[in-house]
Structure 1
Amino acid sequence: MKRWITWPMAVLALASCTKQSDPILLGTLERDRITSLAQASEHIVRIDVREGDTLVAGQSILALDTRRIDASIDQARADVRGAQAALDEVLRGQRKELIDAARARLAGATAVAENARRDRDRVAEIRKRKLNSQADLDRAETSLRAAEADRDAARASLDELLNGSRIENIELAEASLAARKAALDQLELTRERYTVLAAEDGRIDSIPFKLGDQPAPGAVLASILTGPVYARVYVPASQRSALKIGSRCSVQITGSEHRIKAVVRNMRSDPAFTPYFALTGDDASRLAYRAEVVLEDGAGTNLPVGQPVQVSCMLSDAASSP
């Protein structure tokens, strides 16, 4: 009995051959995304762009209220000035007036000690002749020792002023100044980020907040799409070895007949299960490798991110790639 191959069966067979030679990969259009986060919970006082606007690197996007951090910066600057003054005082040593006063106290204490010694000597001489009591001599000795202690204390105070500050005190003052300067630098850096600037050329994808809103710290203030447009596709494990970085492909946007030239930019080495939107036939239960296919000549910059696409890659070119 002869078996006739019908026309639908022939179409399926041809499609199967085409699939093996030029696989159709499913995916979505993507662009790299940069997000700017809120440094503090402050009100938005200015918005300079709108969603969809094209940006250049360094362009202002929006600004937060800086009054609170400005007050903190003023306080930090005052702390730096105080620490600098303390260090200068330690390095210069004591004032001349303090040294002169210490010398005067030493001279007075020395005079008192000399007078106490003479009194003790007189009392001791009288005691030898037994004309006074032992208690009188003991009191004279006590007065002499107290006067000499005061003299020695005054001399030590003068030496401390003349010798200057200890190295430990200088290092402590320097460390205190460095810590206050670092705190000031951190506040000034944080204040710069209260004005959100575009990190790279790109296009504003979303600004979640409005003028006057007060986002929480760490909230996304702006999302920027940057870099070339690429298709993120998933390559079945059976075709992974045939595709290489640099392989030539064509991208067809879902709903359009136009095809855009593209090239494989990278391909993951670690496999993952095929995502739901790429489930087709026998490939549904197989592993797939995520790849990025970049559109050439800056094409697709006006297309929406997330648009479904079909990517056709030529296995013959892939196999011949080094």
Structure 2
Amino acid sequence: MNTTRWIGRTRDYAAALVMIVVLVSCEDVQLAALGQLQSERVELVAESGEPIIAIAVSEGDLLEAGDRVLSQDSERVALRKQALGADVSRLEALLDEQIEGVRSETIDVARAQRNAAEIEIALAEKTVRRAKELLDKDLVSEESVDIALRNLASIRAQLIVFDTRIVELSAGTRVQQIRQTRAQIEGVRVQIALADLEQQRLVARAPASSLVDSLPFEVGERPRVGDVVAVLLKGDQPLARVFIPEAVRSQLAIGTELKVYVDSLAEPVHGTILRIESDAAFTPYFALSEQDRGRLSYAAEIALDFAGTRLPEGIPVQVPLDQFVVLGAAE
């Protein structure tokens, strides 16, 4: 083997390797957070099993906060409210009667009933005496006397009832009874308020500015309680959900302003960090280049200041981070 030729080739290989290292080291490797556009999903669920009677929107419509999405049948709740309203009217009339007291005519009727009972007692006493006289002459049985005595006792008991009734009517309603009636009225009114709230919940409305993503049910269908009846994508624009490399995490915070490059847009979009997750994770395959796979990163959400048409979901985005110092890098 020619040693001189081998040494020369070795020097050539070494020189080529140095050139490759220099080229690689001189290559401009851009530090960036990659991700895609995603919106916060808002699911509207059915709070009643009533059928859907109207759908006011279509998939893809833009909504403002409070816009009606769909309505469920409210006839059952309306009938219950009518029944509760009738209960309030009845209890209010009873309360007025308790406060004002009974009419004098009612007391007069009770006194007349008492007088009639006294007359009946006098007649019943005569009947008892006559029955005893006939019993002494063996003209009637003892059973006839017993019947007359029972009739007399019954009439005397009625007289006691009439006396008690007159005292009660003359004294008026007790304060405790008035309080109970007022409490019953308040309880029924609370039930009416709950029925009003239930009726309002039968109309699903957008909680914020959003885009209608899907409507799983059709008019006439009856969802179960808890079923998702509409899915909305919250916000005027989707958020840029990116993965921040661990090397620059400490230099970013909520409120940090960044430039976000969105595929299909010629100019970058101004963005502000809304949230950064505190738990690190291995960066997903689509968010890093080959040499960065497996590194730790932190998911972040960036609000976009873009006044144009709402951007579609899932578009790739890139946030340059060259302006930040990579911790641990050689000076």
Amino acid at match of 1:13: S
Q: 1:308 offset after TM fit, Å?
A: 3.2
Q: 1:49 offset after TM fit, Å?
A: 1.6
Q: 1:28 offset after TM fit, Å?
A: 2.3
Q: 1:187 offset after TM fit, Å?
A: 1.2
Q: TM-score, normalised by structure 2?
A: 0.71
Q: Is structure 2 residue 245 aligned with structure 1 residue 232?
A: no
Does the residue aligned with 1:306 lie in a helix, a strand or coil? coil
Structure 1 residues 47-102: Cα deviation after superposition (integer angstroms, max 9, x where no partner): 22211112233332222222222222222222332332333333333233321223
Partner of 1:249: 258
Partner of 1:126: none
CA contact (8 A) 1:253 1:307 kept: yes
Q: 1:11 offset after TM fit, Å?
A: 5.5
Give identity over the alignment, percent: 32
CA contact (8 A) 1:268 1:290 kept: yes
CA contact (8 A) 1:242 1:318 kept: no
Q: Distance in 2 between matches of 1:85 and 1:170?
A: 12
Does the residue aligned with 2:96 lie in a helix, a strand or coil? helix
CA contact (8 A) 1:247 1:313 kept: no
CA contact (8 A) 1:39 1:217 kept: yes
Q: Is structure 2 residue 64 aligned with structure 1 residue 56?
A: yes
Partner of 1:187: 195
RMSD: 3.7
1:292 is aligned, of 261, 284, 301, to 301
Q: 1:43 offset after TM fit, Å?
A: 2.1
Structure 1 residues 294-319: Cα deviation after superposition (integer angstroms, max 9, x where no partner): 222335x5322233322223443999
Q: How many residues are matched?
A: 290
Partner of 1:99: 107
Q: Is structure 2 residue 21 aligned with structure 1 residue 13?
A: no
Map 1:1-322 onto structure 2 (within 5 A): 1=11, 2-5=14-17, 9-10=21-22, 12-14=24-26, 18-19=29-30, 23-105=31-113, 154-227=162-235, 228-253=237-262, 259-275=268-284, 277-278=286-287, 284-298=293-307, 301-316=309-324
Structure 1 residues 154-209: Cα deviation after superposition (integer angstroms, max 9, x where no partner): 44432221222222212221121111111111112211222223333332222122
Rg (Cα) greater in structure:
2
> Unaligned regions of 5+ residues in structure 2, if any?
1-10, 123-152
Partner of 1:131: none
> Unaligned regions of 5+ residues in structure 1, if any?
115-144
Does the residue aligned with 1:63 lie in a helix, a strand or coil? strand
CA contact (8 A) 2:255 2:272 kept: yes
- Pair 1:284–1:72, CA change in 2 (3 A): farther
Amino acid at match of 1:58: G
Q: 1:286 offset after TM fit, Å?
A: 4.8
Q: Distance in 1 between matches of 2:259 and 2:22?
A: 25
Greater shift, 98-107 or 34-43, is seen at 98-107
Q: 1:275 offset after TM fit, Å?
A: 4.4
Does the residue aligned with 1:25 lie in a helix, a strand or coil? strand
